[in-house]
Each structure stands twice: as structure tokens, then as C-alpha cells.
Chains A and B, each alone.
Chain A
Amino acid sequence: MERILSIARKLAEAAEVFQVSSRRTPVQFEANRLKQIQTKESTSTALRLVKNGKVGFAQASGVIEPEELVKMALDTSQFGYEVNFEFPSSQSYGHVEVYDQDVQQISIDSMVSLGETVIKAVCDNTPSIICEGSVSHGTATFSIANTSGASARYKRTNSGISIDGMLVRNGDILYVGDIRTSCHPVMDHESITLEIIRQLDLARNNATIKSGTYPVIFTPYGVSGALIAPLISALSGKMVLDGASPLKDKKGQTVLDNKFSFSDDPTLPFQPGSTPFDDEGITARKNTLINHGCITQFYYDLHIASLAGVTSTGNGNRNGGMPSPAPHALVIDGGDRSLQDMVKDVREGLIIEQLMGAEQGNILNGDFSGNVLLGYKIENGEITGRVKDTMVFGNVYQLLKEISALGNDSRWIGGYVETPSIYCPAISVSSK
């Protein structure tokens, strides 16, 4: 990194190098048994520089000569945007706990045994189910250095289990599954097993729902699959700057139910999305994006913030290219109602656990439409079975304008979002 920076310093006005090295060991299960053990090592290096006031960018996975990387970045700088921000200077970042050395001690045998224990318990419950999934752990090192003097590095551990079950029954195919992740070793087989068995139990019978408008409860999985994508699109400083966000002129206004609060918090200890600084070396911090229904903050990286005349919110994120604004770890504040209690409240309605195709609608204006891949019918306060061949249509801003209740069942989905169940009075349902 130092070499790249020192060569770039001579040829450009400013430069920044970002490097990620990782090693991961996934153990994979197929057809209810151990199938494959993997070891994955990778290193990638990205260089961003400023030449004649314009940005240049190049990136390399694996080995590359520093001179060549600098030359690639210089090549692109003639087309780059004009840079109106400075790379952050030397600073001390607050401590965010994302490293647990015990993760490095996890043995292959204990990962195999964790997966096998969960799969055995699920198969004991439902003998003809076929499970697949993986148990993995890994460590990644993130380093950043720039010509303004910043130089920092941190290590983050990651451990997780993901198990899916497929049940073919009378020509139906049913999917169930769960994921648990942490920076601590994930060793608990019970919570994931119970979640999968809960889904199997609820889906044991089929039920039907007629086309119409019904109350709906999104479980945490349902929320993460259907409602999050349109919200984070609309809250992105980039979409606001471009005028492509329906919330662009709504800052300070209450547009959603006052029970709804939504934040991005990369400082939570031992969450896989947590980090002491973003991918541009800006201190990561908690940003409350929506506070009791009121739009309070959009999220920005350095470049978009400079164009919008604000400061970066510490949301510079690299996803295989130049930094761009993205959230780290999202949290929807929980409520006090149990799922059971919310179900009791519904005379006829729907629980949505998995929505297929939700991201294919016009996310930009908040629409979502999808096939209920896993969802249950509620009749007279009881769950009667699984609905199939059913589509729902909604708009996230209309849906969340009126929330009947938030669950007390908040949980993390994939280390990316923590959410409770959300109960809303009306969604449009189409069925055969």
C-alpha cells in the first residue's frame, strides 16, 4: 500500500488506497449431508487519485505491480468527475467491537457438527425434507491510507450458519430456512432449528385467500425482503441529489406512522455490518434516518455530499468499484406486541414471510409487488395454513403511513437489518 501511495503521490495531487484481505472457510451441506469444505483467500486493492482536479480509479484483485495500478488509475482520470472534497486527514477512530479471536479457533469438525445437528433436528421433525446450507467463519482485514495523512486498519471476524429446507409434497414445493450471523462464533443450533420448525409447522396445511384488500403482518423476513429496498433507495443522498427519490423534498416532514423509526448504526458491537470507519476513512456513526415517521437524514459519501453541499455521513461503500453511499447495518425500532397477539387481532388476513419478486417492481417510487413464496392465512385470529399462487401489491409509503402495531420480536436478518414484525391494516391481494 505504501508503495502504491508513494508512486501515486509523485504523479497526482492526492491519492487514496483501500485494501481488503480476507480468508473464509465455508463448510457446505447438500441433501442433508456434508458435501464440500472450502477455503477462500482473496486480496483486492483499490486506488483513487486526483489528477488535474479530476478523479481516477483502478482496482486489482490479486497481484499487481504498483506502477501498473497507478497507470490504470491515471488513464481514467482524464474522464473523471471534478473533485470538490478532500480525503480525510489523520485521526483516531473510536473503537467498534467487530473482532473476536475465538472465531479463528473454530474447528472444521465443530462447524460440521453444528450443521449436522440442525439438519438432523429438522429431518426428525419432517422426515422427507431435503436440507442444504453452510456453516462458515472468516476474518477480513480492511486498510485505508491516503495522501492527507489518514492511515488506519481493522480486522473483523464473521461467523454464520444458513440452512434451507425444501419439502416436495403432493406436487407442492415448500421452502423454509433461516440465517444467523455474528462477529462472535455462531455455535447455537437451537434458535435456528426452532425457527425452521416454526415455519414448517405453520405451513403444514394449505389455505386459500380470495382477491381483495386485507390486513397484513410482515414478519422480520417479510420486512427485510419487501420493504427495505425501496426505503434505502429513497433515503440515499444520491437519489435525493438526482431528484429520483420520492422523499427528496420531505426532510423534516412526517410522512410515515409515528411508530416507525429507522436508523443506520454501524457502531453496534459484534454485528457483521459494523465498522469503525467507512470505505473512505470517515468515522462511522449512527444516523437516524426516520424518527417517529419524520424524515430526518439522508445518507452520503464524500463525493455526493460535496455535490449536495453537506458533509459525509460516513456511508462511503465500495461494492467492486468507486465509493458510493450505502447503509451499514439498519435498525427498525421494535414495539411491544407479540406476533400471537397481532394475529389474534385479525379476522381475515395474511402473514408475509417471504415475498418473491418484490425487488422487480418500481422500487424508486416505493412500489412492491410479488408472489407470496412463504406466507400464511389468518382466519378469526388463528393461522390456518400456507397460501400459494397469491400475489400482493403495495406501496411502502402508503403501507407504512398507518401501522397497526410493531412486534416485540426484533431480530437480525443476514446481519444487515434488524426489524420487528410490522402489522398494517391493508394490502392488495390477487389470487387465482
Chain B
Amino acid sequence: MLLSHILNLSAKIDNRAGVMKEKLLSALRGQKADYIEIRLDESSSSRLIFRGDRLEEAGRSSSTGGNVRALVRGGWGFVSFNNLDKLTEHVSLAIEQARHVGKEESKFSPVTPVNDIVEASFKKNPLEISLAAKKRLLDEYNQLMLGTPEIQTTSISYGDSKKKVALATSEGTYIEQNRIDLNLRLSAIASRDGDVQQVGLSIGSKGDFSTVENLQEEARDIARRAVALLSAPRVKGGTYTIVLDPILAGVFVHEAFGHLSEADHIYENPQLREVMVLGRRFGGKHLNIVDGAAVPGYRGSYKYDDEGTPATKTYLIKEGVLNSRLHSRETAARMVENPTGNARAINYTFPPIVRMTNTYIEPCATTFKDMISGIKEGVYAKDWYGGTTSLEMFTFSAGEAYMIRDGKIAEMIKPVVLSGNVFTTLDNIDAIGNDLDMNQGGGCGKAGQSPLPVSNGSPHIRIRNCLVGGK
């Protein structure tokens, strides 16, 4: 029943597609602004949430809506709506609002208009798997975690979605992009004598259900680790040499440098433009940091961004030196650089802003063994719980951590929150591993738009003199 229902739904979307193109382009005809875009979204999603042995939510949702964004003399108007019937009025309102704002010359990098339809790519389509089968799989993981002694409860959330976005611009571009996204979070919560500890696992994928299958061993492992944390000591706060695993190093590069590379923070700030001048050295010659939606196969991958700019692969840092940054068409024009295809909107209720896609540190040659061998006392931090940045200072937290003593991994400690400063911490990376791995389990938040699908990654890295919070 479920399967047939989904097929019906897709028939409905496809049916409207041809009509939609004409409808959008006609709403743009004859309108006077420096640039106008119309975006329409259709999406459907399902989710399953467990708390302990209760299935707390099995829900489905659908969403239809759109927006118009207009640029007049450097000012923007933006109108979002659910009712698709009054497109012309929405366009007029957006232009009127933009006129109210605009007082200078518009700057907006040109891109070649395209007509394209991009189908969703997937290996094992989660939408073709019944809710019953998904529930069975999650039940199994849940029982494995709950069966571990001293596990108090668990939390599991699974969601998948299918989304079609149509973009029409006053330059004649019409693009339809389809994507399927899925994510799973498993958490095991252990409790003893009023102490409560948790360990989680987050997995995301651009439409491949097999990434959330066969996680039985991982489910057992996070439950065991949550219990082990109850008796783990807490690290003493201070500065340490730290080694980050590829997952946490990916979160590190996202927070420590990725956000500062987003040109919308910089383009209208003369002081920050001086600080972030291309050619400035941030790290050693071994450090290369990349972002790009053109890197295929990850959650941050796409063909065009939400302003119709083709995706690229951008070296943010090349051999330790600031090489380039992430742009929308407006930030690129104002900084006289090239657009990089990084303007993204989480859904139709927001305008596109500069965002990361797939961000990673390129691998070098150091083996893990060599990386830890010279460390007398340090911290090995793995997996992630969260991260945040103020551009200059940032924090990121590990899901799992161990002391390193005399070159060897020693006792497990309670998870740590680490902190750094972009102007010193990147330069303190003194070893980069040979084992690049990408993490797809996270979502990025910026300006109220969260969680945006991104991926990030790195090989193992070693950082000297890193601040660790603790007693």
C-alpha cells in the first residue's frame, strides 16, 4: 500500500513539471528588475522515532511552496508562500520590496543560462522500502542496545525525504533538481547512581539506504561505550597535544575554517577583508583544504546551486596559504572573484546564502602509529557530538576520547569539548594522516537555516597546544 502511494505521488510531481516550467517563465516575463528568480519546492518525507522500546512517532509529511527573490539597485525583496496560484502578484511584491531597499548599483555575477532536469541519483532507494521493513531494522538495532546491561534507554531517529526543486530566473534559466536524502541517529543512554552518559552514531546519505543497513556491530558498540563512560574519568582542563580521528577532524575543518571561508561574512567588512586576504598563510605546506559540491556522491553534492551556478571544487587553502573562498553570485561580484556555486537555501522559506558542501582536508603520508608515537601526554578524540564557531574562535566536541600516554592509546575519558582560534590552531597542525574518510551524518546550521545536508572529512590529524575543557 505504501509503495503504490509513493509512486502515485511521484506521478503527480512529474505531471506538473512541464506545466510548471511554462508557468514560472511566464510569471517572469515583462517584469522589471535587475534579477528575479522563482523557486518551487515539492517534498515528501517520512520519519520514525524511538525512545527506549516505545516507537514514539511514525509520521509522514508533505510540503509544497515557493518563493520569489528580486534584485533592484543592490536591494533585495523576498516573498515566500504556499499558494502557487498568485505567482504574478508574488513577483510584483518582491520587486516592490527590492525597490524600497535599493539605492546603489546591483552587482551580481553572470552565469550562462541553462535548461536542465537533474534526476535523483541513488543506489538503494529508501522510498522503495516499506515503513514496516525500516521499522524492523531499527527494532533490531534498538534491541541490541537495550539488551546491554546498564543501558537505561535509547533514542533512535530515522528520516528520509524526496525533494524536487524548480528554479526559473529572469535570465532564462530553468532547472529542476531532484534529490533523495536520508539520515539515522542512534543513541544509547547509560545511567548509574544519578550519572547519565550517552554515546551516539549519526549516518547520512544522498539516497542510499544500504548505508544504514548492517549496523548491528556499531549499535552494540555504542551501547558498550555508553556504559564504559559511567566509570571513565574526566580529563583535567588545559592545553594538550591532540589527535583527531577523520570524523572529528572533519567537524574541526568545517568549524575552524569552512565558515570563515564563506564570503558573505567577509565581503562587506573591510577589516575582515584585510584579515582574509588571499595569499595569507594559515598553516604548514602540508595543509590543503577543499570544499566542493562537484565532488560527487556525498550529501553536499549537487549539479547547480540555488542561484543556477554550476557546482565547482574549490581549494580554500592550498599548501597552507589562503587560496580561494566560497561565493554566491552577489559576494563574488562584489569581491571581483568567480562564483563557486555555494549559494544554498534549505527550503523555499529562505533565500539562498553562502554555504559549505563537501569540505575536507586532503591526505598526506603520516601513519596513525607515527602520529601518536612521540606524544608523552595527549588526548585522542574521536567521533563528534557538535561544533560551532564565531569565525575566530570555535569549539567542537568529541563523542569518544582517550588519553594518549607515552605514545600509546591509554584509558578512556569522558567526552571532551575542544576549542581553538583560527589564527593559531591551523598552524598548530603538525601531522596529517594518509587515511581520508568522509562523515555524512551531520547537518549545518547558519542564519536559521538548519540542518542543511553537508559532508566533511579528513585523515587523522595532530594538533599541538589545543585547549580542552575540563575540571
Which A positions have Cβ atoms within 8 angstroms of B?
30-31, 34-43, 56-64, 68, 71-73, 75-76, 78-81, 108, 128, 130, 166, 168-169, 171-173, 175, 211, 238, 242-246, 307, 321-322, 324, 356-357, 359-362, 364-365, 369-371, 373, 388-389, 391-393, 428-432
12 contacts between A and B (CB under 8 A): A31-B268, A36-B101, A38-B77, A40-B349, A42-B81, A57-B57, A60-B64, A80-B58, A173-B272, A356-B394, A357-B388, A361-B415
| Partner pick for A108 among B100, B195, B239, B471, CB 8 A cutoff | B100
Residue of A nearest to B468 (CB): A430
**Chain A residues with Cβ under 8 A from B298's Cβ?**
none
| Partner pick for A34 among B63, B75, B421, CB 8 A cutoff | B75
A31 to B414, CA, bound (A): 42
**Chain B residues with Cβ under 8 A from A432's Cβ?**
239, 465, 467
Q: Which 9 A-B pairs have the closest CB atoms?
A: A357-B395, A430-B237, A31-B268, A168-B271, A62-B82, A62-B64, A360-B386, A369-B469, A37-B97
Residue B285 lies at the interface, judged by CB distance under 8 Å to chain A: no
A246 to B230, CA, bound (A): 13
Using a CB-CB cutoff of 8 Å, which residues 242-279 of chain B contact chain A?
268-269, 271-272, 275
A127 to B470, CA, bound (A): 38
Q: Are A41's CB and B81's CB within 8 A?
A: yes
**Chain B residues with Cβ under 8 A from A130's Cβ?**
268-269, 271-272
Q: Are A41's CB and B80's CB within 8 A?
A: yes
Known: A40-B80, A42-B65, A79-B48. 13 other contacts (CB 8 A): A37-B76, A37-B78, A37-B97, A37-B101, A43-B82, A108-B97, A130-B272, A166-B272, A211-B237, A244-B191, A359-B386, A360-B417, A369-B397
A345 to B205, CA, bound (A): 54
A388 to B390, CA, bound (A): 12
Residue of A nearest to B237 (CB): A430
Residue of B nearest to A73 (CB): B60
Q: Are A428's CB and B423's CB within 8 A?
A: no
**Nearest chain B CB to A83 CB, angstrom units:** 12
**Nearest chain A CB to B204 CB, angstrom units:** 18
**Nearest chain B CB to A372 CB, angstrom units:** 9
Q: Are B415's CB and A362's CB within 8 A?
A: yes
Q: Are B196's CB and A59's CB within 8 A?
A: no
Q: Are A246's CB and B196's CB within 8 A?
A: yes
Residue of A nearest to B67 (CB): A40
Q: Are B388's CB and A61's CB within 8 A?
A: no
Residue B290 lies at the interface, judged by CB distance under 8 Å to chain A: no
A41 to B80, CA, bound (A): 6
Q: Are A431's CB and B467's CB within 8 A?
A: yes
Q: Knowing A31-B269, A34-B75, A430-B237 touch, does A173 contact B390 (C-beta < 8 A)?
A: yes
Residue B83 lies at the interface, judged by CB distance under 8 Å to chain A: yes
**Chain A residues with Cβ under 8 A from B184's Cβ?**
none
| Partner pick for B79 among A38, A64, A173, A430, CB 8 A cutoff | A38
Q: Knowing A36-B75, A58-B61, A321-B47 touch, does A360 contact B388 (C-beta < 8 A)?
A: yes
**Chain A residues with Cβ under 8 A from B101's Cβ?**
34-37
| Partner pick for A59 among B59, B100, B153, B351, CB 8 A cutoff | B59
Q: Are B237's CB and A173's CB within 8 A?
A: no
Q: Are A79's CB and B55's CB within 8 A?
A: yes
**Chain B residues with Cβ under 8 A from A428's Cβ?**
237, 470-471
Q: Are B52's CB and A321's CB within 8 A?
A: no
**Chain A residues with Cβ under 8 A from B22's Cβ?**
none
**Nearest chain A CB to B113 CB, angstrom units:** 24
**Chain A residues with Cβ under 8 A from B238's Cβ?**
211, 430
**Nearest chain A CB to B140 CB, angstrom units:** 15
Interface centre among A34, A307, A373, A430 (most CB of B within 10 A): A430
**Chain B residues with Cβ under 8 A from A242's Cβ?**
51-52, 152-153, 189
| Partner pick for A62 among B5, B63, B77, B271, CB 8 A cutoff | B63
**Chain A residues with Cβ under 8 A from B414's Cβ?**
362
**Chain B residues with Cβ under 8 A from A357's Cβ?**
386-388, 395-397, 417, 419
Residue B346 lies at the interface, judged by CB distance under 8 Å to chain A: no
Q: Knowing A39-B93, A391-B469, A393-B470 touch, does A364 contact B189 (C-beta < 8 A)?
A: yes
Q: Knowing A60-B63, A61-B82 touch, does A356 contact B388 (C-beta < 8 A)?
A: yes
Q: Are A36's CB and B237's CB within 8 A?
A: no
A245 to B93, CA, bound (A): 50
**Nearest chain B CB to A142 CB, angstrom units:** 17
**Chain B residues with Cβ under 8 A from A322's Cβ?**
56-57, 59
Residue B183 lies at the interface, judged by CB distance under 8 Å to chain A: no
| Partner pick for A76 among B60, B62, B75, CB 8 A cutoff | B60
**Chain B residues with Cβ under 8 A from A431's Cβ?**
467
| Partner pick for A321 among B59, B82, B93, B423, CB 8 A cutoff | B59
Q: Are B393's CB and A371's CB within 8 A?
A: yes
Residue of B nearest to A371 (CB): B419
**Chain B residues with Cβ under 8 A from A371's Cβ?**
393-395, 419, 467, 469
A321 to B46, CA, bound (A): 10
Q: Knowing A35-B76, A61-B65, A242-B153 touch, does A72 contact B272 (C-beta < 8 A)?
A: no
**Chain A residues with Cβ under 8 A from B76's Cβ?**
35-37
A49 to B249, CA, bound (A): 45
Residue of B nearest to A393 (CB): B469
A181 to B214, CA, bound (A): 48
Residue of A nearest to B153 (CB): A242
A429 to B469, CA, bound (A): 8
**Chain A residues with Cβ under 8 A from B137's Cβ?**
none
Q: Knowing A61-B63, A393-B237 touch, does A373 contact B393 (C-beta < 8 A)?
A: yes
A315 to B468, CA, bound (A): 38
Residue of A nearest to B395 (CB): A357
| Partner pick for B349 among A36, A42, A364, CB 8 A cutoff | A42
**Chain B residues with Cβ under 8 A from A362's Cβ?**
196-198, 414-415
Cβ proximity bits B92-131 to A, threshold 8 Å, 1 near / 0 not: 0100011011000000000000000000000000000001
Q: Are B467's CB and A391's CB within 8 A?
A: yes
**Chain A residues with Cβ under 8 A from B19's Cβ?**
none
**Chain A residues with Cβ under 8 A from B18's Cβ?**
none
| Partner pick for B78 among A36, A61, A81, A373, CB 8 A cutoff | A36
Residue B16 lies at the interface, judged by CB distance under 8 Å to chain A: no
A76 to B469, CA, bound (A): 44
A37 to B102, CA, bound (A): 10
A307 to B83, CA, bound (A): 40
Q: Knowing A41-B81, A168-B275, A432-B467 touch, does A175 contact B390 (C-beta < 8 A)?
A: yes
A175 to B391, CA, bound (A): 10
**Chain A residues with Cβ under 8 A from B153's Cβ?**
242-244
**Chain B residues with Cβ under 8 A from A365's Cβ?**
194-197
Interface centre among A73, A307, A370, A429 (most CB of B within 10 A): A370
Residue B132 lies at the interface, judged by CB distance under 8 Å to chain A: yes
A428 to B235, CA, bound (A): 12
**Chain B residues with Cβ under 8 A from A173's Cβ?**
272, 390-393
Residue B282 lies at the interface, judged by CB distance under 8 Å to chain A: no
Q: Are B471's CB and A75's CB within 8 A?
A: no
A166 to B238, CA, bound (A): 28
Using a CB-CB cutoff of 8 Å, which residues 383-410 of chain B contact chain A?
385-397
**Chain A residues with Cβ under 8 A from B393's Cβ?**
173, 356, 371, 373, 388-389
**Nearest chain B CB to A199 CB, angstrom units:** 14
**Chain A residues with Cβ under 8 A from B51's Cβ?**
238, 242
**Chain A residues with Cβ under 8 A from B419's Cβ?**
357, 370-371, 389, 391
